[in-house]
Amino acid sequence: MESKKNKGELEALLAAKRKEGAAKFTKEKNKIYADGITSVADSGILEKALNVGDKAPDFNLKNALDESVSLYDELKNGPVVLTWYRGGWCPYCNITLHYLQEKLPEFQQAGATLMALTPELPDNSLSTSEKNNLEFNVLSDVGNTIGKEYGVVFKLTDEVAEIYEAGFGLSDVNGDKNNELPLAATYVVDTNGVIQYAFLDADYRERAESSDILDALSKLK
């Protein structure tokens, strides 16, 4: 597991949202969310998830335009940056997606393709893509099938699941009642299909910095 090496703009944006959320939520809700993060950390997922040096499983998923996208087909053109997001309902995800869109030219200049995976149903991933004016592929991983192959999927605590169901209907958004979500993981996969950078964190409010991703890409040349 790699932590953030560079503190950057994204961390500042996420920290501001975190502060806003803490002030807005009740003490009880803040504790439920904190306990949820602890539960993820204690589950051992960070140690079990695929990491640097592991072979990235291939996949074929539909993008927001209902087109099939294959990881290994994309790798023929250069390295791929894979990033998972929880859903368009998550403010931290929207901040991150918008930020990644701003940094997209830098990833492209480094020869990389950026792809985002989400457990949202296709209609919802299309909405997220349009809302954030995303010019990279947003792929619908219904049932977290691919996320599970990478080992980045966890089960929500009952308390967090209850809040999400009451708040925006998680089961409707994802099309199942599994109460499972992916970590906000990010991988850099080289043209041989090997993971060369991995960002894994139990806290969904923490995300990979573009500078760290670009550092990893620069080492592939």
Q: What is the pLDDT of residues 42-77, one digit of tens each?
A: 999 999 999 999 999 999 999 988 999 999 999 999
pLDDT at residue 197 tops 80: yes
pLDDT at residue 123 tops 90: no
Look up residue 62 and give its amino acid.
K
Round the average pLDDT of the chain to a whole number and report it: 95
Domain boundaries, the chain: 9-218
Q: Note whether 83 and 186 are within 8 A (CB).
A: yes
At 155, list the tokens.
């089960």
Q: Is the dihedral of CA 193, 196, 201, 206 positive or negative?
A: negative
Q: What CATH class is the domain 9-218?
A: alpha beta
Q: What is the band of 38 on the pLDDT scale with cuts at 50, 70, 90?
A: very high
For residue 28, give every residue at least 6 positions away whose Cβ sits within 8 Å of its Cβ, in sequence order, or none. none
Q: CA end-to-end span of the chain, whole Å?
A: 22
CA distance linking residue 30 with residue 23, whole number of Å: 9
CA distance linking residue 119 with residue 174, whole number of Å: 6
Q: Which pTM value belongs to this model?
A: 0.94
Nearest one of 171, 197, 198 to 184, comparing CA atoms: 198
Q: What is the band of 8 on the pLDDT scale with cuts at 50, 70, 90?
A: confident
Which residues sit opposite 143 in a β-bridge? none
Q: What is the CA radius of gyration of the chain?
A: 16
